[in-house]
Amino acid sequence: MALPQEGQAQTRIQRLAASFKAWRYGTVLGVFLVVVGALAWRLVDLHVVDQAFLSNQGDVRTIRVETIDAHRGMITDRHGESLAVSTPMMTIWANPGEMDAGDPRLSSVARLLGVNEARLRARLRQHEQREFIYIKRKVQPTLAREVVAVEVPGLYTRREYRRYYPAGEVTSHVVGFTNIDERGQEGLELSYNEWLSGEVGSKRVLKDNRGRVIKDLSLIRDAKPGQQIALSIDLRLQYLAYRELKAVVQAHNAHGGTLVMLDVATGEVLAMVNQDSYNPNDRQQMSPDGMRNKAITDLFEPGSTMKPVTVAAALESGKYTPSSTVDTSPGYRRFGRFTIRDTSNHRVLDLAGIIVKSSNVGISRIATELGGDAIRDLYYRMGLGQATGIGFPGEAVGVLPSPPRWRPVEEATLSYGYGLSVNALQLAQAYMVLANGGIRYPLSLLRQDEAPRGERVLSERVTAEVRKMLRSAVEDGTGKRAQLSFYSAGGKTGTVHLVGENGYEKSQYKAIFAGMAPIDHPRIVTVVAVDAPQGGEYYGGEVAAPVFARVMGDALRLLNVKPELEIGEAPLRRHAPKTGERG
């Protein structure tokens, strides 16, 4: 009876085992199907439902918008020679949040970049919450590649531009310079900053987890480079003028100097140099005093260089002719406690003689006859006492007195260049009017591709007569050292006391020469001024006139002006002015 019961038990066990296997299989299969279904749903969710969101999140983590720097416009001379260019450089920057200030590889980075390692690590710790700091700006691309090769996490590069000035200190006062962000700070770089500045562009790029650009994806806005400008400066003449001015300042141990050269027919500035100067490529050597363009920003009394203009006013009035004479005896004039003197008693002089001998007494007697308003009016028409319109930052306008009633001493001193102030460019403009037949052209530091419109301020007859007198002043008077070897020249010397804190300095002078060549058909006007020459020579005829001769002779040859004089006729020797004719 027991056997049947045991068989039944075994049968139940077998059935239970089979049922368990079926349940386990079903459970595993169900779990598998659920997992597969969940994965399938997730795939559908990722690729259909959340596709836009996830795509945007991926882009945020890998796609960046980067700026495209635009290079600044080039500055050239009138013949296309580069005076200021922008060259591509690399800037090293860091994300302190991604960096370890204790990373030993930073030692190599500091050494390559020439920065203090301890200071670099301290900056990274100090700004660890920031995402951007500069490490070193505008380094050579080859050096940047060496830094990147160190593979320091969080260290990146970007392209920028650096301004470079090929002519260095020779053109620095005219061109000026920019700051590290390529914004104009001085000179024409400042005046034309908007014109020269480019427009920054932007692009989308794909970056890896180290922030390195893998691929450029799309251009959002292209960068627009700045506009180019061509100056009126002739770099050949600029080098020539700079060399000669620097030489005379050194030779006389002078405090400084200025030279301006104008094209008579257009009013363009062909050369403009100063001493001291500075190299815009080496900012460590700059000083505020050396950065001034003294030809435009510094004022001085023009002295005897204004006597030809006063003579022009006399001829224009009709009260005088070239043959008119003036008695300068006894060689001085008294105005109360003030006395005007000549170096000697020249007695009776005609108008040419007054300029040749540089007679203060003679020109002051003419001024007394004409009146101060007549002289001032011509000064003003020739550009004194007003802005030149050249558009240069920091231009000094000068002082041209206009009292309601002229005192006799004021009329007298005005006639020979005291009691007013000008800059070198204004003085050159006045002589340009005498040189070109009486036309005052607007001055320009930019190349003029069209003939400018000028304003007539003097008759051709008057200017022609004055040029003859200026020729005599160079051949027989105070400007003998201004004679050229193969060209005729005309001009006038000036020697004025410098003004100090307590008035005129008794022993400090400014030596000036203003002139033109060739005298019959002038092509160039040049003004030379040397500040406080030391030693025995300090007169305009001794210091400034020889510079005029050297610069003008070479400049006319460079401009292919045909020589007027044959070799046998050329005055090859420079004559020292006679006693009493120093100007």
Q: Which of 53-62, 434-443, 545-554 has the lowest mean pLDDT?
A: 53-62
**pLDDT > 50? residue 431:** yes
Higher pLDDT residue, 83 or 132?
A: 83
Residue 473 vs residues 76, 166, 351: alpha-carbon distances, Å: 38, 40, 11
> Which of 301-305, 396-400, 562-566 has the weakest average pLDDT?
562-566
581: amino acid identity, one letter: E
- Kindly tell me the burial class for residue 416, based on how many C-beta atoms sit within 10 Å of its own C-beta (0-12, 13-18, 19 or more): buried
pLDDT at residue 363, as a whole number? 97
557 contacts: CB under 8 Å, gap ≥ 6 = none
Checking if the pLDDT of 203 tops 80, the result is: no
Among 197, 232, 277, 304, the one annotated catalytic: 304
pLDDT at 204 exceeding the cut of 80: no
359 is catalytic: no
pTM of the complete model: 0.83
Distance CA 134, CA 94 (A): 6
pLDDT tens, residue by residue, 63-76: 766 666 677 899 99
* Domains in the chain: ranges and CATH: 65-97+125-230 (3.90.1310.10), 235-558 (3.40.710.10)
Please tell me the predicted confidence (pLDDT) of residue 578: 40
d(CA 177, CA 183): 8
Give the Cα separation of 425 and 432 in Å (integer): 10
Query: Is 468's pLDDT higher than 70?
Result: yes
Which of these, 455, 481, 459, 312, lies nearest to 389 by C-alpha position?
Answer: 455
Most confident of 49-58, 134-143, 516-525: 516-525
Output the pLDDT for position 307. 97
Nearest of 573, 571, 575, 518 to residue 541 by alpha carbon:
575
The rounded distance, in Å, linking the Cα atoms of 127 and 355 is 72
pLDDT in tens, 327-368: 999 999 999 899 999 989 999 999 999 999 999 999 999 999
Rounded Cα distance between 245 and 276, Å, is: 10
Report the pLDDT averaged over residues 442-471: 95
pLDDT digits (tens, 9 = 90+) for 235-285: 999 999 999 999 999 999 999 999 999 999 999 999 999 999 999 998 777
Q: What is the pLDDT of residue 572?
A: 46
